[in-house]
Amino acid sequence: MKIQPKIVLGCVVGIGIIIASCTNYPKQQITIGISSENLILEDSISQLTKLATGGTPEIMTKGSVSLTKLACEGQLDAIAIADEMWASILCPDANWVNNSDTLYRTRIQLAVPTKKAQELGWNDRTVSRKEVLEALKSGKLKLATTLPTHSNSGYNFLLWLTREELGGNIDPQQITPQTLKPLQPIYQNLAQSSESTSFLAEKLTQNWEDNTIAALYRFLYSPDGKSLSIHGDRVSLPQSVTLVDVNPAVTVTPSWFVTSSDPEIREQLQVEVFEALEESDRSTFEQIAQLNPPLSQEIKRETTPGVAVHRKLLESFHPSIRQKRWIVGIIDGSGSMEGEGFNQLLSAFRELLETEKAKSNFLYSPEDKFSLIVYQGEGAYSLPRNVEASTNLDREKLWQSLNQEVRVGGGTPVKAGLYRGFESALKVPIDYQIEIFLFTDGRFGNPLDRELLSLHQELENKNAQITIVGAGNVNAKQLQKLARELNARPIISSSASQTKEELLKAFREGQI
C-alpha cells in the first residue's frame, strides 16, 4: 500500500539537523518498536516522529520476532526490524504500510579466533558454505548463535545451513525430520546461545573459546576483529578473531513497517518519518555503510525463499533439530506471590503447556517432558498431587493441574522446593537435556545446605541447566546471590506485569 505524501505546514527537516518543529498536530502517544539492529537510528526516528505528530514517541526495544508479534496484536504504531520477512511469516494478513524499501543492507558475519582460522586455512580467503557445515558437523568448530525461532540472526544462519544440506533452492516438502537430522549434532552441542543477538555478543566478550565460530551481524564487529559493539559501547574481545567471508553470503535486510490502524498516523509515520529518515540523517547512514562494507563480486547473494519455507523450518526446529528437553519447574506458591505475579506466571505456563499455543509461539516439541513442583506453606508437592514428579505426564493435564489445584498462600519453604525439584531432576532419563526453572520473588533466607549442594553437584555432572526467574515484587539481591551459588542464570523482571514476558524468555533461551 502506497500513501501519497501531503504538505505539512510549519515543519522543515534539513540534512542531518532539525530546523523547525511541527505544531499543527495534536499530541498523541505513538509507540514504535525498534530492534537492536536499528537502535543506531533511534534518535532520528524519535525526532522525526515528534515533528510529524507533535508528541514524543515511546520507543520499545525488543527482538524482531517479539516486535512483529506485538504489532500483529495492534500494540505498536510502527516497527523497525531486522528483516522484512518476519511480517509475512507472523502476520500475513495485516494491512501494514511499507514502500518495499529497506533501511539498509547487512549480513551475518562469521568470526573465528585468529589462531583457529589459521589452523583451518580460513584466513585471507573466502570460505564456502560446505566447508563451514563440515567443520561444524565434525566438531572442529562449535557454533555460537541465537535461538532460530525467536531471533533473526539465528534463523537466517539456520536457513543458510539448511540450504546447503538440502541443495540451495528448497521447498517446504523437503523439510522433514530425516533431512534435518544431520544438523542435530551442531545444535545439540552449541558453544554459546541466547535469544538475543546483543546478549550473545555480550557473552562472547566475556568468553570466546578457541573452537567457537560465532554468527553475529557484521556491524557489531570492529574492522580489526578485536572488539564488539554492546549497546553502543565498544567492548574488547578476550582474543582476536578473524572475520570470515563466506560464499554464499548470509544477507539480511532491516526494514520498517507502519502498523497503526489510524489513517492519519499511518500517513505521518510513512511520509514524514521513515521515507524522510535517510535524507534527514545522512551522517548516520554513512556510518552504517562503513560498518557494513560491500561484499566482493565473487560472493553470491541468495534470494530469500517463500513464506511457506520459513514457516516449515521454524515449526520443525524444535521437534527435529534440537535435543529433547525435560523441564522441571519449581514454583513459588507462597502468599507473597498472590496477585498479578502468579497470574502472569500461569499465563506464561499456558503458552508453554497448551499445545496449540506452544506451536504458535514456536515452542513446541512433542518429545519435551515436564515436571512441576510447588512449594508453599510447610513443604513442597508435585503436580498433579500424589504423582511422582519424574513421571511422564501429558502437558495438557499438567496445565489443568497447575491452573486448578494451586491456591496461593502460606510461607515460602524454598529449600523444600529445591530439594524435591533437584531429586526429581536426577531421575530424568539420560537422553534428555535437563532444564530446571525456579520461579520465585526471592523473599526467603539462604536455603542452601550441604545436602542441597551435593544434589546440585550431581546435577552439574549431568550438565543440567538452572534458571532462576524473579517473579512479582522481587528481592533482586537475594536472587542474584542464589544464582551465583547455583551457577544459574538469573532472569529478573522489574514488575509483576513483566513476569509473563520474562518466563517466556527463560523458556525460549533454554531451548538451545
- Give CA–CA dist 28/21, Å, rounded: 16
Residue entry with cell 542464570: 489
Sheet holding 255-258, edge to edge: 58-61, 31-34, 78-81, 255-258
pLDDT at residue 327 is higher than 60: yes
pLDDT at residue 393 is higher than 80: no
Q: Residue 21 — pLDDT band, cuts 50, 70, 90?
A: very low
The DSSP secondary structure of 130-196, one letter per residue, reads: HHHHHHHHHTSSEEEEE-TTT-HHHHHHHHHHHHHHHTSS--GGG--HHHHGGGHHHHTS-SEEES-
- Give CA–CA dist 68/62, Å, rounded: 10
CB within 8 A of 304, min separation 6: which ones? 85
CATH 3.40.190.10 given to domain 31-103+253-291: yes
pLDDT digits (tens, 9 = 90+) for 229-251: 887 789 999 999 999 999 999 99
The answer to whether 63 and 246 are in contact (CB under 8 A) is no
Phi–psi pair at 66, nearest 5 degrees: -65, -40
- Give CA–CA dist 399/106, Å, rounded: 42
In the chain, what are the domain boundaries? 31-103+253-291, 106-251, 323-509
pLDDT digits (tens, 9 = 90+) for 82-113: 988 899 999 888 889 876 567 888 999 999 99
The candidate with the shortest Cα–Cα distance to 349, out of 296, 402, 428, is 402
Q: What is the pLDDT of residue 92?
A: 87
The answer to whether 53 and 265 are in contact (CB under 8 A) is yes
**Mean per-residue pLDDT, 14-37:** 63
- Give CA–CA dist 39/34, Å, rounded: 6
Q: Residue 6 — pLDDT band, cuts 50, 70, 90?
A: very low
106-251 matches 323-509 in fold? no
Of 117-131, 268-282, 333-347, the one with minimum mean pLDDT is 333-347
Of 200-204, 210-214, 429-433, the one with minimum mean pLDDT is 429-433
The DSSP secondary structure of 279-324, one letter per residue, reads: HH-HHHHHHHHHHSPPPPTTS-BPPP--HHHHHHHHHHHHHHTSPP
Q: Output DSSP code: residue 220.
A: G
CATH 3.50.50.60 given to domain 323-509: no
pLDDT digits (tens, 9 = 90+) for 348-387: 888 888 888 888 777 788 888 999 999 999 899 999 887 6
- First CA to last CA distance, the chain: 38
Q: What is the pLDDT of residue 5?
A: 37
Strands 325-332, 369-376: pairing is parallel
pLDDT digits (tens, 9 = 90+) for 405-463: 899 899 889 999 999 999 999 999 988 889 999 988 887 877 889 999 999 999 999 98
pLDDT at residue 3 is higher than 80: no
pLDDT digits (tens, 9 = 90+) for 447-478: 889 999 999 999 999 989 898 888 767 888 88
Report the CATH fold assignment for 106-251.
D-Maltodextrin-Binding Protein; domain 2 (3.40.190)
The answer to whether 118 and 127 are in contact (CB under 8 A) is no
- Give CA–CA dist 415/413, Å, rounded: 5
Type of residue found at 122: W
How big is the chain, counted in residues?
Answer: 512
Cα–Cα distances in Å, from 475 out to 143, 192, 343, 442?
A: 35, 28, 19, 5
Most confident of 14-28, 61-75, 462-476: 61-75
High-pLDDT (> 90) share of the chain, %: 52
Q: What region does 54 belong to: left with phi over 0, alpha with psi -120 to 50, or beta?
A: left
pLDDT at residue 9 is higher than 50: no
Q: Residue 494 — pLDDT band, cuts 50, 70, 90?
A: low
- Give CA–CA dist 326/259, Å, rounded: 38
Q: What is the pLDDT of residue 74?
A: 94
pLDDT at residue 8 is higher than 90: no
DSSP 3-state of 30: coil
CB within 8 A of 263, min separation 6: which ones? none
pLDDT digits (tens, 9 = 90+) for 138-158: 999 999 999 898 889 999 999
Q: What is the pLDDT of residue 14?
A: 40
Mean pLDDT of the chain: 87
